[in-house]
Amino acid sequence: MDGDWRDSLVPGGIFGNLRIVKRLGSGGMGLVLLAENPKGVRCALKVLAPSDSSDDGKFETRFRNEADFALKTRHPNLVEVWDAGRDAATGLFYHVIEYMPGGSLRDLISEAKGGLPVGKAVSIARDVAHALVHIERNGMVHRDIKPDNVLFAANGVAKLADFGISRFEHDGDVRATSASAVIGTPAYMAPEQMIDSHSVDIRADIYSFGVMLYELLVGRRPNAGENAMNTLAKAIEGRAFPDVRNLRPEIPAPLAELVSEMTLPDPDDRPGSASGVLLRIVRMIDSGADAVSVAPVATGRIPWYRDRGVLYAATAMLLALEALVLALVRVAKGG
């Protein structure tokens, strides 16, 4: 394309059939913009920066992998991708994504200063756990669980976003990453992910989730102020993070114990599945643990009107009722 690739990506500019409203963010892989379609429906437009010769197409591969996964699977706690492709006019790869007006979990933590109310933190954790259960069942490891990648819908439901560096267990990520690359955000990465990003499983995500939950509860990470190498060295020595109750004694014991187990240095000592983490969170809520009061609004359960099983059953009932009415009409006319 002629000129700088950002030239058309300014407020009022047109990209495909979308009108750019404003820029939402930017990063190494490109830009995220707020846009509107011709009907005025708002969406987030994620545009990949053109790759250079040193990239060997890795970013494009990750970008396509993210779109493939998001378009094939849907879940109430995953941010939806509505469309993806390559723009004919500019040659830029793009995703059209569900717009999340509630901002990010990073914003919420920054505003809270000292940790969220325990009930709110647990509610968000429940939503994230639902998302992790779904991606685990689909043979995938996210590899970048952090507050920046948890976004909020208008109704307060937390949704996991950004699958650009995810690993798919059916084919690994050889096509997308080099053998020496460290993939993820060091402050949230599990020790085994710092050593080898390519062979990790869901327990690495559980570790990152635990670090994030710790931060939700007290307003700071357990490894705040440390660089990645210091954190890794302590993990190799087998040193666990401090108990979250050292900073906030009122946190219920079951919640503090879960956070501690999720962030243990050895992956074999952590919960072995996302469903196990979710079960413990749900039990905590159902048991009415002290200080855990969770509103039922932010839930990972599929609403009845989006549950295909319910819709199929309702359709079958309506068809049966219609057939019965027609039969009665025929009988009446025959009489």
Taking only the tens place, the pLDDT of each residue in 54-103 is 455 666 777 777 777 767 778 899 998 888 888 888 888 888 999 999 99
- CA-angle at 253, arms to 211 and 210, nearest 5°: 10
**Which of 107, 127, 144, 196 does the annotation list as catalytic?**
144
Alpha helix stretches (DSSP H) within 81-220:
105-112, 118-137, 191-195, 202-218
Q: What is the pLDDT of residue 292?
A: 64
User: Which among 54, 51, 32, 52 is positioned nearest to 43, based on CA atoms?
Assistant: 32
Topology (CATH level 3) of domain 105-286 = Transferase(Phosphotransferase); domain 1 (1.10.510)
Residue 325 C-beta-side C-alpha neighbours within 13 Å? 6
| Cα Rg of the chain, angstroms | 23
For residue 277 the two structure tokens come to 């983490």
pLDDT(171) > 60: no
pLDDT(133) > 90: yes
- CA-angle at 318, arms to 316 and 323, nearest 5°: 95
What is 14-98's CATH number? 3.30.200.20
Q: What is the pLDDT of residue 268?
A: 96
Q: What is the pLDDT of residue 333?
A: 64
pLDDT(301) > 90: no
pLDDT(2) > 80: no
pLDDT(242) > 50: yes
DSSP structural state of residue 264: -
Q: What is the pLDDT of residue 164?
A: 53
Angstrom distance (rounded) from CA 295 to CA 1: 50
For residue 202 the two structure tokens come to 């869901």
Q: What is the pLDDT of residue 329?
A: 58
SS3 169: coil
Q: What confidence tens digit (pLDDT) does each residue in 21-55 have?
A: 999 887 666 789 999 999 999 999 989 888 654 45
pTM of the model: 0.77
Percent residues over pLDDT 70 in the chain:
73
SS3 34: strand
User: Which band of pLDDT confidence, cut at 50, 70 and 90, is reported for residue 161?
Assistant: confident
Contact predicate 103/154, CB 8 Å: no
Angstrom distance (rounded) from CA 30 to CA 68: 18
Assess whether 144 carries a catalytic annotation: yes
Strands 18-27 and 14-15: antiparallel
User: Which among 120, 315, 301, 294 is positioned nearest to 219, based on CA atoms?
Assistant: 120
3-state secondary structure 2-13: CCCCCCCCCCCC
Q: What is the pLDDT of residue 168?
A: 43
Q: What is the pLDDT of residue 283?
A: 93
Query: Can you state the angle between helices 253-262 and 274-286, rounded to 10 degrees?
Result: 170
